[in-house]
Amino acid sequence: MADINTINKDFADLFNQGNELLLEGSSDVMNKTRKNAFQDFAKLGVPTRANENYKYTNLIPAFDHPYNVNLRYQQVDVDLNEIFQCDVPELDTNMVLLTNGWYYGNNKELTELPKGVIVCGVQEAAEKYPEIFNAHYGKYAKTDDDGLVALNTALAKDGFFIYVPKGVVIEKPIQVVNLLRSDRDLMATQRNLIVVEENAQAKIIVCDHTLTHHKYLTNSVTEVNVARNAIFDLYTLQNQHLNSVILNSTYIRQESNSNVLSNTISLYGGTIRNNHHVILDEEHCENNTFGMYLMDRDQHVDNFTSIDHAKPNCLSNEHFKGVMDDQASGAFAGRIFVRRDAQQTQAYQSNNNLLLSNDAVINTKPQLVIDADDVKCSHGATVGQMDEDALFYLRARGIDEKEARQMLMFAFAHEIIDKIRVEPLKERIDELVDKRLRGEISKCNTCAIACNH
């Protein structure tokens, strides 16, 4: 097995040898950021467990594999629009596809978007809308802190870009389907940027999805800026396969009176690491960070979150719940920072876990760093088994044990699903989670929320 130095050296070689391809087609700003990022990566490397923030997730086996890397957009030999048909009419979305981290070249035009809304690839955005792009790109996901972000920024070529202009309300959610489809094992680097301007409103659903059974590693970074009075929802559905690695870092910055809700639902994947960073950078923001993970077999999930109350009078609610079965393992870290002048902060956090087997493990760690004195904060973590009294109560009414367990697990998970602010999506996720808990989604060649092929 390779050690971390070999892995880091391989990336250095890739960066140097592939430099021409890396620079090709990317804007100057992207390439300048890339150069700095690579220097940071050279210092940081892929995080190992010696890094306190990655204590519970060993990335060496994830990276120690001869992946293919596409530094150029690869033409797709089929029409992905044909393959992907939405079969849930109630869930009406503006859908775009990405393939292996790249904005798909034959995406259908989104005709129903309000005027001024932009949905396109990052490369295209950097070129066509430099004013918007340059104002935000690389501003929130700092490369000197996390080796994965540095690596992503060093290798970033494409991803999705969404821009919602001032005052524009997008009724229909935008659905981004990240497809992994390759005939070889593949590492994808995806870099996304979402800019929601003042008084705008948008809901984005991101689905991660594998189309073939190859081993995949995705290292994605999403930067989001939500301006004053804007309302923004980000739903992430991770539904890949046991041989995939999802490394997903999201950086959200909020301006005054903005309201953000994110809900990250991990249904299937071999190794999943979500880094979720929020900074409440002006007053009177509301942030809701929710997540749910349903893991079994040898799956691993690690949700690492930080909510930074940089300014006074903001409210944050964070709630993650997980159901762990078999030998599944997981971790949750919830950091809340309340900076010195962030008075009148309200920050709430909880993490609840249901362990269904003796071999499943979860490490949960709240961490509150509070430098202001007038704050309301609470945190709590629970790890428990199924409530035997409740189980007996259901069975005593004639409900068989399997169904009774199912009802209790579902009830446990539903609390997080209930936070979804798109009604048809909520119903769809309910169904999906019910199936997942019944063990009926084992392969995940079905799109998490809308698609059949």
**Interface ranges with other proteins (CB under 8 A):** 387-390, 392-401, 403-404, 407-408, 410-412, 414-415
Specify the DSSP element, H or E, that contains 154: helix 147-155
Nearer to other proteins by C-beta: 80 or 404? 404
What tokens does 306 get?
């930080």
Nearer to other proteins by C-beta: 235 or 412? 412
What tokens does 116 get?
């001024």
Distance of alpha carbon 41 from the chain centroid: 21
Q: Are 316 and 309 in contact (CB under 8 A)?
A: yes
Residue 367: name the closest of 352, 377, 376 by CA: 377
Nearer to other proteins by C-beta: 115 or 397? 397
Q: 3-state SS of 373-409?
A: CCEEEEEEEEEECCCHHHHHHHHCCCCCHHHHHHHHH
Nearer to other proteins by C-beta: 298 or 431? 431
Nearer to other proteins by C-beta: 14 or 407? 407
- Shortest distance in whole angstroms from residue 423 CB to other proteins: 17
- Shortest distance in whole angstroms from residue 411 CB to other proteins: 3
Distance of alpha carbon 268 from the chain centroid: 13
- Return the CA Rg of the chain: 21
Nearer to other proteins by C-beta: 242 or 407? 407
Burial of residue 53 (number of CB atoms within 10 Å: 0-12, 13-18, 19+): middle
Nearer to other proteins by C-beta: 149 or 432? 432
How far apart are alpha carbons 59 and 118 in whole angstroms? 35
- Shortest distance in whole angstroms from residue 31 CB to other proteins: 51
Residue 152: name the closest of 72, 240, 68, 247 by CA: 247
- Shortest distance in whole angstroms from residue 201 CB to other proteins: 30
Nearer to other proteins by C-beta: 66 or 398? 398
Distance of alpha carbon 355 from the chain centroid: 23
Nearer to other proteins by C-beta: 115 or 402? 402
CB within 8 A of 272, min separation 6: which ones?
A: 238, 245, 246, 248, 266, 293, 299, 300, 301, 302
Nearer to other proteins by C-beta: 192 or 263? 263
Vertex 267 angle, CA 261 and 268, to 5°: 135
Amino acid of residue 94: N
Residue 383: name the closest of 333, 437, 323, 301 by CA: 323
Q: Are 285 and 322 in contact (CB under 8 A)?
A: no
Residue 234 pairs with which residues in a beta bridge? 204, 262
What tokens does 211 get?
């189309």
175 SS3 class: strand
